[in-house]
Amino acid sequence: MPKQLRSYDEINEKIKKGLAVVVNAEEFIDLADKEGVESAAKKVDVVTTGTFGPMCSSGAFLNVGHTKPRIKISKAWFNGVNAYAGLAAVDLYLGATELPEDDPENKVFPGDFKYGGGHVIHDLVAGKDVKFEAAAYGTDCYPRKKLSTLINLKDMNEAFLFNPRNAYQNYNVAVNLSDKTIYTYLGVLKPHLANANYCSAGQLSPLLKDPIYRTIGIGTRIFLGGGTGYVAWNGTQYNPGTPRTEKGAPKRPSGTLSVLGDLKEMDPKWLAGVSFLGYGVSLCVGIGVPIPILDEDAAKWASLKDSELFAPVVDYSDAYPNVKPDVIGEVSYADLKTGKIKVNGKDVETASLSSYPKAVEISNILKERIKSGKFLLTDPVKDLPGPDSGIKFRLLNERPFKNGGK
């Protein structure tokens, strides 16, 4: 273990006094390049990160308030989009990828997917009135069977974003080796390797700056959707045991975060409903995580730059849908950001689905919040499982049952 340079308490004392030295990950990379990691580690207390991209596995718990007479909701719709009601009388969960009941989906391919759960969440956060409808079977204590009203976020009891899987630590670069255009959650991919889409903020991405989860853990306070949030758990499909570079950065999609925060404090700018032609809807979520520079190791990781971070190139016409392990190649985020990568000897144009300029903006907002003393850092209450934890991403082992399962 390298010598500790500062503790969480010491950093927070400096933040409260307005004396903390806070820089975003880009600035920290520059400083480490100029002066060396050792010197950068001594000077900087906190490095801020950021990411803004489509993050499926997002959604919100909403308590809409009791009606008079009471209703125990069994089916619910916000602007026609189904919300899960199997919780309690008026507790609902609205998922980002849910579609309106009457959406034509992919019946005429590729489907348009104009509106869905992510868009409803955006509209609610934007303060818009949303059409709320509910149905119930009626009980003695909850007699009402139907409900149809406008509803506004500010009038709900509790509304919190609770996303099971966000902030992916690295992600696939999607290409299409087939001879027809395909429509994926990583965008439209033209045939014969005509384009490559990636989705990570690279050197600004939270979990790539703390690759073995030294400081990001359960309870970590974060920037979430414009407001304040917390890491609730490791995200679903958490897969820390992937191949890594010498410095510890995973070369495949690896860690993920489950995050939550008060929806009422969030900003529609950082929660945007998005549509993927031929695929469906999702939610663009803005996340920023502060990395305390506790020691030189933390600084070494926080200074990892695009040229040291690698993503796998995966064929989404075959390898991905059919779960083949084939990776066509590995490319650095520095290469991806030039707009062109080499795949199978061919120059392929690249585009990103995660917004780098918005990631920079988030890291700067978080920086200002910390500098102004409004945002203190948290020592995690429990660490996330590390690369050697043995936790692995598993496929479903299908075991067909006979005779209706009897």
Q: Is 53 in the site for another protein (CB under 8 A)?
A: yes
Using CB under 8 A, pick the residue from 50, 54, 117, 240 that binds another protein: 54
Return the range that interacts with another protein (CB under 8 A); candidates 82-90, 238-246, 256-264, 332-340: 332-340
Stretch that binds another protein, among 140-148, 275-283, 315-323, 377-385 (CB under 8 A): 275-283
The b/e string for 257-269 (b: 16+ C-beta within 10 A; e otherwise) is: bbbbbebebbebb
- By CB under 8 A, name the one of 349, 372, 382, 392 that touches another protein: 349
CB of residue 350 vs another protein: minimum separation in angstroms? 7
The single residue among 21, 135, 177, 277 that binds another protein, judged by CB under 8 A, is 277
Least spacing, CB of residue 288 vs another protein, in Å? 16
> Any residues with CB less than 8 A from the CB of 161 and at least 6 apart, and which?
58, 59, 60, 121, 224, 225, 229, 259, 260, 261, 262, 263, 266, 271
Give the residue, chosen from 46, 47, 62, 274, that forms a contact with another protein under the rule CB under 8 A. 274
- Distance in Å, CB of 85 to another protein, minimum: 29
- Minimum distance of another protein from residue 142's CB (angstroms): 39
Residue selected from 24, 197, 200, 256 as contacting another protein according to rule CB under 8 A: 197
Which region among 89-97, 140-148, 191-199, 312-320 touches another protein (by CB under 8 A)?
Answer: 191-199
Q: Which of 31, 40, 52, 257: binder of another protein (CB under 8 A)?
A: 52
Is 284 marked active-site? no
- Active-site residue, selected from the candidate residues 56, 141, 199, 284: 141
- Select 66 or 337, whichever has its Cβ closest to another protein: 337
Residue from 356, 365, 371, 375 touching another protein (CB under 8 A): that is 356
Handedness of CA 234, 237, 239, 243 (dihedral sign): negative
Mention every residue, 6+ apart, whose C-beta is less than 8 A from residue 217: 231, 380, 381, 382, 383, 384
Instruction: Compare residues 215 and 354 and give the one whose CB is closer to another protein.
Output: 354
> What string marks each residue from 92 to 121 as x (binds another protein by CB under 8 A) or -?
------------------x-x-x-------
Residue among 128 and 337 whose Cβ is closer to another protein: 337
- Torsional class of 18: left (φ above 0), alpha (ψ -120 to 50), beta (otherwise): left
Q: Which CB, 89 or 196, lies closer to another protein? A: 196
Binding mask 279-318 for another protein (x = CB under 8 A): ---x-x----------------------------------
* Among 165, 358, 367, 369, contact with another protein (rule: CB under 8 A): 358
Nearest CB to another protein, comparing residues 235 and 273? 273
Check binding of 128 to another protein (CB under 8 A): no
Residue of 152, 338, 344, 372 interacting with another protein (CB under 8 A): 338
HEC states along the chain? CCCECCCHHHHHHHHHCCCCCEEEHHHHHHHHHHHCHHHHHHHCCEEECCEEEECCCCEEEEECCCCCCCCCCCEEEECCEEEECCCCCCEEEEECCCCECCCCCCCCCCCCCCCCHHHHHHHHHCCCCEEEEEECCCCCCCCCCEEEEEECHHHCCCEEEEEEEECCCCCCEEECCCCCCEEECCEEECCCCCEEEECCCHHHCHHHCCCCCCCCEECCEEEECCEEEEEEEECCCCCCCCCECCCCCECCCCCCEEEEEEHHHCCHHHEEEEEECCCEEEEEEEEECEEECCEHHHHHHHCCCHHHCEEEEEECCCCCCCCCCCCCEEEEHHHHHHCEEEECCEEEEEEECCCHHHHHHHHHHHHHHHHCCCCCCCCCCEECCCCCCCCCCCCCCCCCCCHHHC
Of 74, 106, 195, 389, the one binding another protein by CB under 8 A: 195
Distance in Å, CB of 359 to another protein, minimum = 9
- Looking at the annotation, which residues are catalytic? 141
**What residue ranges bind another protein (CB under 8 A)?**
52-54, 110, 112, 114, 187-188, 190, 194-195, 197, 272-277, 282, 284, 337-339, 349-358, 360
